[in-house]
Amino acid sequence: MSIAIKMPALSPTMEEGTLAKWLVKVGDKVASGDIMAEIETDKATMEFEAVDEGVIADIAVPEGTEGVKVGAVIATLAEEGEDPADVKPAAGDSPAPAAAQKEEAAPAPAPAASAAPSPAPAPAAAPAATGDRVIASPLARRIAADKGVDLAAVKGSGPNGRIVKADVESAQPGAASAAAPASAAAPSAAPAPAPVQAQDFGIPHEEEKLSGMRKTIARRLSESKQQVPHIYLTVDIRLDALLKLRGELNVALEPQGVKLSVNDMLIKALAKALVAVPACNVQFAGDKLLKFTRADVSVAVSIPSGLITPIVKDAGSKAISAISTEMKDLAARARDGKLAPEEYQGGTASLSNMGMYGIKQFEAIINPPQAMIMAIGAGEKRPYVVEDSLQIATVMSATGSFDHRAIDGADGAALMKAFKDICEAPLGLVA
């Protein structure tokens, strides 16, 4: 019997993707674990592996097709003993690729909250099991064993709910079963606002179609400003000691080919401040508060298609040199669209630095479901009172945005003070 190959959900929030490239063609034989295609999500380009053996009998979605809904049939596989020429293309039971559909006059920006009923993407199926046996690809089983992931708690996106590589990579060790209740407790999304009607007023212009990433950024940040009560707290930080330490460390690390940036040091400073003020290392989850025991710092990285926040995990316990090396790798792969979901999904707080653009101060929008983000301005020479005398110092303004549902103003102020103290007495960063 032929097997329908469907568009997988390569991340928990994925609803559609772009079939960037086919690595197989009709007539090719594939085995479980073989890479069949490259699929672009709203954040990265990921490989899609085969979960069954057989011969490609039909490719329903050509490469380059955008807006392919999760669950849509993209190809058909002939099993052993079947003649691929006799196999009929599998019938799709989910929406056709959006690129092939007639564009609506005024689409709602958030599919889940659209006023008009529309076919919903096929949900990720629960793991298919026979008795106590969980159905998973061999590669997924190996990755699960390495990561310590319980396959019984992972939802499979492959045929018949089979667990594939992407499902396991996006799961957290020992936390997959807890993910569902936490997300269920989150507040429901606000109704989608009325679509914005274009008004060019006869001004010469060009139209540029929004990328999947830009659509996601627009939706998530709109939801954050609408649903999260922000409180903003700003401190001025004298950077002279930190800059002096950075220079000394770079001389010492030069033989290793490591060059620290100020941002690398600020990442660790924020992580240590979060550990010192655990009341800010939290997440609001409806009727509960998640209190994290380590600081995973998401760092805003600008890429051509938008913005992504790769994560430096447990940044407080890492050497600054390790953070620097890791950030260079994460940023490079972010720009190439090669980050895995677990490298940009999660994090306990964020850091956004616009100092390199000469921005003195700004207020960042919280990256949901996190509860705080630190906005870093430029370090600049300013008149500054040092030991009761007016001097010239290198000063930076930092503004913390806090989710007031989870973090009180006094706790936010304690975090800002801890961050300032660490930056102004930076030897603690190398302790």
Q: 153: domain CATH number?
A: 2.40.50.100
Q: What is the reported pLDDT for 90? A: 67
Note whether 157 and 297 are same-domain residues.
Answer: no
359 domain residue, yes or no: yes
The number of distinct structural domains making up the chain is 2
190 domain residue, yes or no: no
- Boundary (domain end) residue, out of 139, 159, 178: 178
358 domain residue, yes or no: yes
Note whether 37 and 148 are same-domain residues.
Answer: yes
Q: What is the reported pLDDT for 10? A: 78
**Whether the Cβ atoms of residue 155 and residue 127 lie closer than 8 Å to each other:** yes
pTM recorded for the entire structure: 0.64
Residue 229 φ then ψ, to 5°: -75, 105
Note whether 161 and 260 are same-domain residues.
Answer: no
Exposure letters 32-68 (e unless 16+ CB within 10 A, then b): bbeebbbbbbbbbbbebbbbbebbbbbbbbeeebbbb
187 domain residue, yes or no: no
CATH number, domain of 371, equals 3.30.559.10
Note whether 281 and 140 are same-domain residues.
Answer: no
- Boundary (domain end) residue, out of 178, 196, 212: 178
Note whether 281 and 167 are same-domain residues.
Answer: no
Q: What is the reported pLDDT for 160? A: 62
Q: What is the reported pLDDT for 412? A: 98
Active-site residue numbers? 404
| Whole-number Å distance between alpha carbons of 252 and 137 | 47
Q: Classify residue 351 by its DSSP letter.
A: E
Contacts of 377 (CB under 8 A, 6+ apart): 354, 355, 359, 360, 361, 362, 396, 397, 398, 399
For residue 222, give both structure tokens. Answer: 């709109």
Note whether 155 and 90 are same-domain residues.
Answer: yes
Match 């805003």 to its residue by tokens.
300
Q: Which residues of the chain have pLDDT under 50?
A: 93-132, 175-187, 189
Q: How does pLDDT run across 39-98, given as a tens digit for each residue?
A: 887 667 788 888 888 888 889 899 888 888 888 999 888 877 677 676 777 665 444 444
Q: How does pLDDT run across 130-166, given as a tens digit for each residue?
A: 444 567 776 777 777 777 788 778 888 776 677 877 7
**Whether the Cβ atoms of residue 151 and residue 134 lie closer than 8 Å to each other:** yes
- Boundary (domain end) residue, out of 178, 213, 244: 178
Q: Classify residue 136 by its DSSP letter.
A: B
Query: Can you list the alpha helix ranges (DSSP code H) found in 157-257?
Result: 165-169, 176-185, 212-227, 240-253
Residue 269 φ then ψ, to 5°: -60, -40
191 domain residue, yes or no: no
Note whether 229 and 173 are same-domain residues.
Answer: no
365 domain residue, yes or no: yes
| β strands within 23-173, DSSP E | 29-30, 35-40, 45-49, 54-59, 65-69, 73-78, 129-130, 133-134
Query: Can you list the alpha helix ranges (DSSP code H) found in 11-164?
Result: 138-147
CB-side neighbour CA atoms (13 Å) of 368: 24
108 domain residue, yes or no: no
Note whether 32 and 171 are same-domain residues.
Answer: yes
Note whether 249 and 137 are same-domain residues.
Answer: no
Parent domain of 293: 225-429
Note whether 172 and 237 are same-domain residues.
Answer: no
Note whether 244 and 312 are same-domain residues.
Answer: yes
* ω into 369 cis (within 30 of 0): yes
409 domain residue, yes or no: yes
List 297's β-bridge partners, or say none.
312, 349
Note whether 402 and 270 are same-domain residues.
Answer: yes
